[in-house]
Amino acid sequence: MKETTQLSTTEAKNTSCSSVPESVMTAGRCELTDVKLHISGKLPDDLQGHVFIVGPVGDVNSGGLPYPNGDSVLNGDGMIYRLDFDCQGEVGLKSRIVKPPCYFADKATRPGSMYAKYRFRNHGLLRFSLSLGARNDLNTAFLPIRFRDDSEERLLVTYDAGRPYEIDTQTLEVVTPVGANLEWRAETQLKFPFQPIFSTAHPAFDAHTNRMFTVNYGRAAGNFLETIPFIYGLDKLPHEIDELLDIVGEFIETQDLIKDFIKLFSQFSQNIWQLYIRIIERITSIDIEDFVYLVCWDGVGNLERWKLILPDGSPVRIEQTMHQIGVTQDYVVLMDTAFKTGLEQIINNPFPENKGVERCLRNILTQPVSPDSTIYIVRRADLKVGQCPASAQQEVEVVVRRVVIPLEAAHFLVDYENPHGQITLHASHICAWDVAEWLRDYNSSAYKPHNPVPSRLNGMEQDEMDISRMGRYVIDGESGQIIKSQVISDLNLTWGVGLYAYLDRLSSGMPPGQIKDIYWTSFGLWKELLTKFICDLYKDYKYRAVPVSEVLRLAEQGVPANLFRLHTSDESLYIADSFQFPEGYMVSSPQFVPYVDGNDGSTDGYIVCAVVFDDSNEIWVFDANNLKAGAVCKLSHPLLTAYCKFMRYSKRSTQMKSNETVLARLARKNS
């Protein structure tokens, strides 16, 4: 294996520490229609079509974000925003909450209603009812699809904990889920009206073969719920017990010896967990197993699936989540991604209204995400006739190739072409960053004397504890051997690199054979978001590049958010262009928008992204060929910020973070 690694030693630019912007903690649920955005700068004449954005906006009880009790801002109903560039010199805006059937059940069972005893509650990133099942929030990403018989492109909205849904791109209403209930396997055998189904927020569509690929998986922890029936009969623990557990949790936080013991115990707790599951299976006759299905849909017929197994015949086991998958000409690539969600969040936090319970269990049960990326490669040639669960056919098994790459990742891309069976994979390694962790009201600052974090930030994501790295890998699809790896980072640009944009399809509608340029956004470093809890959790990170003391120093002075272009090729991997946002700004939701009359060049277009600062929310447009020149125009409207101000003045601080919001590509004017 040929490997190159580069860590830029350029000194980070000297900046002063800035507060997290007010607007990143606020979101309203007001649905907008025919709003005309204000344009600052020159709106490009060839920026035409529609842009779609989705992000969480709280639930039916909260009235928006933030949650008064400090729940994660990443948990909430999805709000779809459509930007319209059809009229020359104008940009319109329309928004609608995504409303699958479980949304109406949530609304009907709110506190105060006659059905309140069936209500949904927030358990970490999952919203769950002990009577009705799991909410499908549909707040994460989009997938454009166009099958052979479709007259125009269709759009799916997605979520890690639920089936994708097709939406009407004009009304923004949901149309239909992908697949019937009986075509998906729930993570638990308990019979809920809304079954907890775990899939991927980033399914893949192959325009060459007119096939959509996704996954359906489950872990033993889901069925483990059946062995603890007491939880279903309880609403919350007595106040005295909650206070006691809160004291226990605080004591654990201040005792390094106890924390080190818990960490040592967790290193072999997984083996104990597996043994315990086997014992429970024997006692209860409940089948508690891990499963992963690769699912395929042709847009017309029933879903088809294959159960994935390892060469030794054991089932593929997902430790964290399958947040993203990729498709090449001859392979489907799956990754166990660095993002934690699932029904075990109910076990970790069984009584969401009891914060003492949460604090105690969090200190005992929380573990770092895996520092390695486990990849599973499926040969498409092996995907002959699969099982159609709608017909209750016998399961069909397919053997996968398992590959482990150092450094964790949540997002990755693959080239469609795989010459000689060689897969090219592009990854953003979010090193020592747990995006499923958020600030609680009992968190303390990483800086002495460890004062409580600002209450206005409760629910916000925490800082990363090492610099992110950008990787490019060439993998033999048949043997799983890593033939070549290139890994780089930059002390100014690659702190918390999460979201991406690129030329995902050509004017022909087909994907490019090779990805040459990828546009990434970075989170930066914020002193307010660095806690003692997260420092302790990742102080012994396996692949540390920047010492903890240096991370603390950089966060104290502040590292701004960035937008940069990563050029990738066999010969080299480097950052070719970048824009550093002003202090106190955050950026999200980048999307590559091709020029109307472009030549399908990987930089021939615009980058459209959401930018938040102070109490303002804007859409910025960059020339993809010249990021360093700054935005060519900025789009805004008082309605996008008025709700933020109202929330602030009513003392309900929150977030308008567009959770990993992914924009659908702009349709070409004449397509």
Query: CA-CA distance, 205 to 477, in Å (whole number)?
Result: 20
Query: Is the predicted pLDDT of residue 643 greater than 60, yes or no?
Result: no
Res 283: pLDDT: 52
Res 633: pLDDT: 97
Would you tell me how many other CB atoms lie within 10 Å of the CB of residue 431?
28
pLDDT (tens digit per residue) in 546-573: 999 999 999 999 999 999 999 998 888 9
Query: Is the predicted pLDDT of residue 287 greater than 60, yes or no?
Result: no
pLDDT (tens digit per residue) in 415-448: 999 999 999 999 999 999 988 888 988 889 999 9
Residue 162 lies in a domain: yes
Res 259: pLDDT: 53
Residue 234 lies in a domain: yes
Query: CA-CA distance, 439 to 572, in Å (whole number)?
Result: 39
> SS in 3 state form for 295-330?
EEECCCCCCEEEEEECCCCCECCCCCECCEEEECCC
- Of 77, 138, 70, 79, which is closest to residue 110 (Cα–Cα)? 77
Provide the whole-model pTM.
0.87
Q: Measure Cα distances from 534 to 110, 272, 362, 432 in Å.
A: 34, 25, 12, 9
Nearby residues of 639 by Cβ (< 8 Å), 6 or more positions away: 30, 32, 35
User: How many degrees, rounded to 5, is the angle at CA 250 between CA 259 and CA 234?
Assistant: 105
Residue 666 lies in a domain: no
Give the mean pLDDT of 392-401.
Answer: 93
Q: Measure Cα distances from 457 to 462, 562, 588, 591, 658 in Å.
A: 10, 22, 18, 27, 16
Q: Strand pairing partners for 166? A: 156, 176
Number of domains in the chain: 1
Residue 358 lies in a domain: yes
Q: Which of 145-159, 235-249, 349-363 has the highest mean pLDDT?
A: 145-159
Res 86: pLDDT: 87
Residue 150 lies in a domain: yes
Res 228: pLDDT: 42
Query: CA-CA distance, 368 to 382, in Å (whole number)?
Result: 35
Residue 572 lies in a domain: yes
The sign one gets for the Cα dihedral 200, 201, 207, 212 is positive
Nearby residues of 159 by Cβ (< 8 Å), 6 or more positions away: 78, 136, 137, 138, 139, 140, 199, 201
Res 224: pLDDT: 44
Phi, psi of 23 (to 5 degrees): -70, -20
Lowest-pLDDT range of 565-569, 616-620, 636-640, 663-667: 663-667
**Domain that residue 115 falls in:** 2-649
User: How many degrees, rounded to 5, is the angle at CA 585 between CA 579 and CA 590?
Assistant: 55
Res 2: pLDDT: 47
pLDDT mean across residues, the chain:
84
Contact call for residues 193 and 315 (beta carbons, < 8 A): no
Query: Is the predicted pLDDT of residue 479 greater than 90, yes or no?
Result: yes
pLDDT (tens digit per residue) in 382-394: 999 999 999 888 9
Would you tell me how many other CB atoms lie within 10 Å of the CB of residue 537?
21
Query: Is the predicted pLDDT of residue 278 greater than 80, yes or no?
Result: no
Residue 663 lies in a domain: no
148: left (phi over 0), alpha (psi -120 to 50) or beta: alpha
Contact call for residues 663 and 142 (beta carbons, < 8 A): yes
pLDDT (tens digit per residue) in 289-341: 789 999 999 998 899 999 999 999 999 999 889 999 999 999 999 999 998 76
Would you tell me how many other CB atoms lie within 10 Å of the CB of residue 178?
22
For 219, the token pair is 């872990």
Res 123: pLDDT: 82
Lowest-pLDDT range of 163-167, 241-245, 516-520: 241-245
Kindly state the percentage of the chain with pLDDT values over 90. 64
Residue 605 lies in a domain: yes
Buried b (16+ CB within 10 A) or exposed e, 343-353: bbbbbbbbbbe
Query: Is the predicted pLDDT of residue 55 greater than 90, yes or no?
Result: yes
Query: Is the predicted pLDDT of residue 414 greater than 70, yes or no?
Result: yes
Query: CA-CA distance, 63 to 52, in Å (whole number)?
Result: 23
Res 561: pLDDT: 97
For 282, the token pair is 């024997």
Res 274: pLDDT: 54
pLDDT (tens digit per residue) in 657-669: 333 333 333 333 3
Higher pLDDT pick, 640 / 140: 140
pLDDT (tens digit per residue) in 356-380: 556 666 666 678 889 999 999 999 9
Lowest-pLDDT range of 169-183, 212-226, 614-628: 212-226
